[in-house]
Amino acid sequence: MPERKSQHWADRIVDQILAQPHPEDHVYHIVTGITPSGRIHIGNLREVLTADVIYRILQERGKKAKLFYVADDYDPLRKVYPFLDPQKYQKFVGHPLSDIPCPCDQHPSYAEHFLEPFLASMSQLKIDLTVLRASELYKGGRYNQVIIQALEARDTIAEILFRLTGKEIDEFWSPFVPICESCGSMAETKVIGWDRERELVGYLCQQCQNQGWVPVQGHGKLTWRVDWPARWSFLNVDIEPMGKDHGSKGGSYDTGQEIVRRVFHKEPPFPIVYEWIRLEGMGDMSSSKGNVVAIEDVLKVVPADVLRYLIIKALPKQRINFDPVNQLLNVFDEVDNEQAKYRDPRSLELSLASGFVPIKVPFNHLISIVQIAGGDPARVSAILKRGGYQIPESSAKELEERCRYALNWLEHFAPAEYRFSVAESIPQSVQSLTPSQRRVLGKLSDLLSTMLSQKEEKDISAEEIHRSFYEAAQQEKDLSIKEVFQAFYTALIDKEHGPRAGWFVKTIGVEFVQKRLAEASAIEA
């Protein structure tokens, strides 16, 4: 009998990686890299999570592995992004991100401003990263050797780039981009000489007209298409996830493969190409467009396991439409009600991060209850118990945390129709209801009153309350059921829509609602 293999994409990738010959004690280097030029968003998270699952599986299989994150903080600021103050940042365009002041003045640099929350999220997501900063690699001399190799092989690289991308390479093109000593920018510097003996680069800055000779260390960087294969060579990269732009034909992986073999004499890493994450209704997430959802914001509304699961369960080549309203709540429920255990147990296993404890309350439901209970976990717990949910004492902490998630979700992501609060007294807007709408509220109140006279409040079910809305509507022939509900929500929460009516009445108290509706029906227009 053949061994039954996991069908999970990450297991299949690891099968392929391990099929390649490596010494038994080989330490697999998995590398990810993200430029901290803006908020690092959940589109970027896909890169790191893809690397992380491969890392976890290699360890499961008894292999040694190391997971690196290279912060590309030596990249230049490309432009003044919409989220930046142009007054402050215009002059820093072209400067390395590690050398620019941070937007809030609380961090050592622009790059660190965006790195700090990202790295905090990584630890919440239990991603065990070894962090390297490109600025430190360059300034510390780790790149010296490869820069020299690249300068020596300038013509070979230019030929590869032209052949594979079809783009004209002008005669001044250089794999090295110097940073101008005078103005600090690398936006318009040109290499005009290479002194092989003294290992100095001659440059001209077309921005400030400064000209000079500088050593390679800490005075510039390789262009992206050369930087990447150079990094593969000295970090001994075995595996690297990459966005589909890099992985396409003529993309930087394509050119990098040939450059790393011919110039740096190493093999390229095993590529894992992934699709973008789009923000529902807003296109691909991109820091420069500003349509991003930051990782730390999602971790305020769902546990780390849920966010991991949402991304890990999709094939890397599958586009993810991130929708913080429907999709996020559904995935939260899938993990919480343990359907995930049956639907995709392997993804769930690879998503474990925070010691998730299910409480089996639909998140949507909790969002309503939290609002009724004014955010008080004790009241939430009481309401849930009345509604038939069994929350053991030992889960009190989880419930408290869920309440916090629900409140954060309402604050960060909720569309207006999800938010409500029960009005303390009859809202003014009741006066604008039609006479028949006010009459129907009286009828509803009578029906509830009848129920209360027949049994105890706790024995009245949400379903029978819900039915009474239809009964009342039948008695008031010129009203549609929609107008009945509209009148009801106006009297209770001063809105035209709200949570499911029968259940809502049961939650806030049948007697309370009965009295409120009687009062509302008696109001003079």
Footprint on this chain of Zn ion (rule: CB under 5 A): 102, 104, 106-107, 113, 180, 182-183, 205, 207-208, 210
- Residue 304 to residue 331: CA distance in whole angstroms: 12
- Residue 192 to residue 212: CA distance in whole angstroms: 9
- The least CB distance from residue 176 to Zn ion, in Å, is 16
Q: Which is nearer to Zn ion, 208 or 423 (CB)?
A: 208
- The least CB distance from residue 121 to Zn ion, in Å, is 16
Q: Which is nearer to Zn ion, 174 or 257 (CB)?
A: 174
Q: Which is nearer to Zn ion, 106 or 453 (CB)?
A: 106
- The least CB distance from residue 218 to Zn ion, in Å, is 16
Residue 406's SS3 state is: helix
Strands ordered across the beta sheet of 130-133 = 130-133, 64-71, 27-34, 239-243, 270-274
Q: Which is nearer to Zn ion, 183 or 366 (CB)?
A: 183
- The least CB distance from residue 291 to Zn ion, in Å, is 22
Q: Which is nearer to Zn ion, 174 or 381 (CB)?
A: 174
Q: Which is nearer to Zn ion, 188 or 464 (CB)?
A: 188
- The least CB distance from residue 30 to Zn ion, in Å, is 29
- Residue 487 to residue 437: CA distance in whole angstroms: 6
- The least CB distance from residue 208 to Zn ion, in Å, is 3
DSSP codes joined into one string, 173-205: --SEEEPPTTT---SSEEEEEEETTTTEEEEEE
CA 98 to chain CA centroid, Å, is: 24
The region that residue 281 occupies, defined by phi over 0 for left and psi between -120 and 50 for alpha, beta otherwise, is left
**Long-range CB contacts (within 8 A, 24+) of 322-327:** 322/42, 322/277, 322/278, 322/279, 322/280, 322/285, 322/293, 323/280, 324/280, 324/293, 324/298, 324/409, 324/412, 324/413, 325/280, 325/413, 325/414, 325/415, 325/418, 327/280
Q: Which is nearer to Zn ion, 180 or 239 (CB)?
A: 180
Looking only at the bridges linking them, the beta strands covering 283-284 and 277-279 are antiparallel
- The least CB distance from residue 203 to Zn ion, in Å, is 9
Length of the chain: 525
Run of H or E including 71 = strand 64-71
Nearest to 134 by CA among 68, 45, 65: 68
Find tokens 């992934």 and name the residue: 274
Token readout for 212 is: 């000079």
- The least CB distance from residue 12 to Zn ion, in Å, is 41
Query: Residue 247: what residue type?
Result: G
Direct distance between the N- and C-terminal alpha carbons of the chain, in angstroms, rounded to an integer? 81
- The least CB distance from residue 83 to Zn ion, in Å, is 12
Are 316 and 9 contacting, i.e. CB atoms less than 8 angstroms apart? yes
Token readout for 228 is: 């990447």
- The least CB distance from residue 39 to Zn ion, in Å, is 12
Q: Which is nearer to Zn ion, 140 or 290 (CB)?
A: 290
Q: Which is nearer to Zn ion, 58 or 180 (CB)?
A: 180
Q: Which is nearer to Zn ion, 55 or 176 (CB)?
A: 176
> DSSP H helical segments within 337-376, as ranges?
339-343, 345-350, 363-372
- The least CB distance from residue 74 to Zn ion, in Å, is 17
- Residue 100 to residue 118: CA distance in whole angstroms: 18
Q: Which is nearer to Zn ion, 72 or 305 (CB)?
A: 72
Q: Which is nearer to Zn ion, 179 or 285 (CB)?
A: 179
- The least CB distance from residue 101 to Zn ion, in Å, is 9
- The least CB distance from residue 92 to Zn ion, in Å, is 13
Q: Which is nearer to Zn ion, 209 or 318 (CB)?
A: 209
Looking only at the bridges linking them, the beta strands covering 27-34 and 64-71 are parallel
Query: What is the number of other CB atoms lying within 10 angstroms of the CB of residue 453?
Result: 7
